[in-house]
Amino acid sequence: MFAPESQHGIFDYLTSVKSAGVASLLDHGRETLGRVRQGGLIPLSVTMGRTRADGPNFFAVFRDLSQTRKSEGEVREARRLAERAANAKTDMLARISHELRTPLNAIIGFAR
């Protein structure tokens, strides 16, 4: 169910949930890699806990993070492109300002 590199982390997580006095780790989920039937890997969020505080049974909630990761990548790319556009605009304005000032300074200098 889990990618080989994630199995140790999940085992440690389950061990911490099993430890005495811990009823639930709902706020302390783990991100891991899960395997899919087609042979690929998907990012998952896993949250585990006990069904009852003193009970022997556990539950696990899995959330596919593929879309979230894709959206985060798109936001990073959009931010990078926006920063590039802002830098290009700043550069263009600086060049235009220089190109306008140089001849104007020459004209104003001759007029005095």
Dist CA 112 CA 63 (whole Å): 75
Q: Which two tokens stand for residue 52?
A: 């009852």
In this structure, of 10-24, 36-50, 85-99, the range with the lowest mean pLDDT score is 10-24
Q: Which two tokens stand for residue 99?
A: 């190109």
pTM (whole model) above 0.85: no
Residue type, 37: R
User: What are the beta bridge partners of residue 61?
Assistant: 47
pLDDT score of 27 more than 60? no
Q: Which residue ranges make up each domain of the chain?
A: 4-64, 66-112
Distances (CA, A) of 72 to 20, 47, 79: 37, 21, 11
pLDDT category, 33, cuts 50, 70, 90?
confident
pLDDT at 93: 92
Q: How many CA atoms lie within 13 A of 21 on its CB side?
A: 0
Indicate the average pLDDT of the chain. 82
pLDDT at 60: 82
